[in-house]
Structure 1
């Protein structure tokens, strides 16, 4: 900070040094002026100037140091009171701009919340005719047409579900209800929802749940499983998907393994990034949001997601659930 202070005041310091050198130069070339007294006066002036700089630094530095260390979060409590007129100008300007930003942020927050509420309301409204459509499809006698329509219905249903959870995930901490969950009915329910799609692609499931009871939030865990299973079915053809759970070191581990096309090594580190889609197998219908949302929800549930994959051999997602004691802080929310 002292170095910055000297750099800021360098013009004044150079002016003072120039004046002192000018005095010495005049005393040197003008023999009528005694050089020694002038040099003594210049020396005393330098001492006084150095003391003056130290005093001014101690007086001015705290304000700018507080300004430098201030964490920009629209909170002005970290800024010290201004002492000089210039500091007051800076202080008043920051306060005024911050107030404007707070008003703008509050207004934008209200707009976003209104848009979110409107979209959630629209999604719930759309679910009613979608449910009726599914019942109508179930009554069709043409099995081929029924399978095709069921597949398209499922795509719409999954997209709406993803959009619904995308809008809710910003407030997931307020939406969590941690309880004991049986994995088997949860997994079978998600498999059943994908049944028509799996039949169309010739995909079966091999389920082996040795560790069946976990502690988590049922609806958000179901959403995570839905994204992983949808991904597995989407990129597999005529093969089985293996779902198994085990208990390892007081943790429950759930594995979802498919034998689809796999993920390229260069894409693997980015699959959980928002909006990322495969660079080797571009899919125009992909949104790049499923795994991103699953990862975000898993983080809030303290679930670790690991993935391993090789092109042509399939992909394995591993969910490692936390210990019961790890949920102490979550359950107090």
Structure 2
């Protein structure tokens, strides 16, 4: 900060030095002016000026130091109170802009909440005829037709579910209820929902749960599992999907492994990006939102999602659950 202060006052310092040099020059060329007296005056002036700079540094820099250390946001409590006219201009500008930003954020949040409130009832309304449609499909005697219609029904159901959670995820902190969740019924329910699709593709499941209970939110964990299983089924064919859980370094680990097409190395770092779809497996129906939402929900639950994959060697998604004492952070959100 001292260097910045001196640079800011550079013109004043140069003017002062120029005046002292000018005074010495005049005393040098004018023999009637005692040169030693002038040197003494210049020496005293420099000492007084240095003391003056030190005092002004301590008085002028606290406000700007607080600005430099301030983490940009809507909280202005970390900024020192302005005492000088120019500081007050800066403070007023920052305060006005912050208030406008806070109001804009509030307006956007209200608009988002309104959009969510408008869309969620519609999604729930659509689910009612979908349920009825599913019951009607199950009554069909033509096995081939029933399988095809069930698959198309499932696609619509999953897309609606994804849209529902996409609207909810912005407010996930208000929707979390952390408790001990049994993995077996949760996983088997998700497998059952995908049953018709798996039968069509000849896919089975190998489930081995060394750990059956984890601390998390059951609704959002089910959503994350749904996205990982859907992704595994989508890119597998006539093979098993393995689901394993275990304890490792006091962390519960849950793995979903498929033996399908795998993911290209250049795509691997981007699979959790919003809207990203594979560059090698073109799927016109893919939205690129499933894994993005799964990662976002997992972050709110303090769950780490890791992925290993290679083309034609399958993909393994690993969820690392937090230690129980780490949920203090989650419950204090």
After TM superposition, the score normalised by the length of structure 1 is 0.91
Distance 1:213 1:29 in 2: 94
Rate the CA distance shift 1:150–1:253 in 2: closer, same or farther, 3 A.
same
| Structure 1 position 304, deviation (Å) | 3.2
Tell whether 2:24 aligns with 1:24: yes
| Structure 1 position 314, deviation (Å) | 0.6
Q: Which residue of 2 aligns with 1:42?
A: 42
Q: Which residue of 1 aligns with 2:106?
A: 106
Q: Which residue of 2 aligns with 1:12?
A: 12
Distance 1:67 1:328 in 2: 32
| More deviation, 21-30/7-16 | 21-30
Q: Which residue of 1 aligns with 2:228?
A: 228
SS of structure 2 residue aligned to 1:78: coil
Deviation readout 1:21-70 (Å, 9 max, x if unpaired): 11222222233333222222222211111111111111111111112212
Distance 1:202 1:43 in 2: 95
| Structure 1 position 319, deviation (Å) | 2.6
Distance 1:96 1:330 in 2: 33
Gapped runs of 5+ residues in structure 1?
none
Q: Which residue of 1 aligns with 2:309?
A: 309
Q: Which residue of 1 aligns with 2:291?
A: 291
Rate the CA distance shift 1:77–1:281 in 2: closer, same or farther, 3 A.
same
Q: Which residue of 2 aligns with 1:182?
A: 182
1:97-176 correspondence to structure 2 within 5 Å: 97-176=97-176
Distance 2:9 2:44 in 1: 20
Rate the CA distance shift 1:250–1:73 in 2: closer, same or farther, 3 A.
closer
| More deviation, 110-119/239-248 | 239-248
Instruction: Tell me, yes or no, if the aligned pair for 2:302 and 2:330 is still in contact at 8 Å.
Output: no
Distance 1:52 1:328 in 2: 52
Distance 2:315 2:17 in 1: 73
Superposition CA RMSD, Å? 2.2
Aligned residues between the structures: 333
Rate the CA distance shift 1:9–1:198 in 2: closer, same or farther, 3 A.
same
Rate the CA distance shift 1:259–1:139 in 2: closer, same or farther, 3 A.
same
Q: Which residue of 2 aligns with 1:212?
A: 212
Rate the CA distance shift 1:76–1:177 in 2: closer, same or farther, 3 A.
closer
Rate the CA distance shift 1:34–1:253 in 2: closer, same or farther, 3 A.
closer
| More deviation, 78-87/301-310 | 301-310
Rate the CA distance shift 1:53–1:182 in 2: closer, same or farther, 3 A.
closer
Instruction: Tell me, yes or no, if the aligned pair for 2:203 and 2:237 is still in contact at 8 Å.
Output: yes
| Structure 1 position 230, deviation (Å) | 0.2
| Structure 1 position 133, deviation (Å) | 2.2
| Structure 1 position 261, deviation (Å) | 0.5
Deviation readout 1:86-106 (Å, 9 max, x if unpaired): 122222222222222222222
Distance 1:3 1:40 in 2: 29
| Structure 1 position 165, deviation (Å) | 1.3
Q: Which residue of 1 aligns with 2:196?
A: 196
Distance 2:328 2:89 in 1: 48
| Structure 1 position 249, deviation (Å) | 5.3
Q: Which residue of 1 aligns with 2:264?
A: 264
| Structure 1 position 164, deviation (Å) | 1.2
| Structure 1 position 325, deviation (Å) | 4.7
After TM superposition, the score normalised by the length of structure 2 is 0.91
Gapped runs of 5+ residues in structure 2?
none
Rate the CA distance shift 1:57–1:246 in 2: closer, same or farther, 3 A.
closer
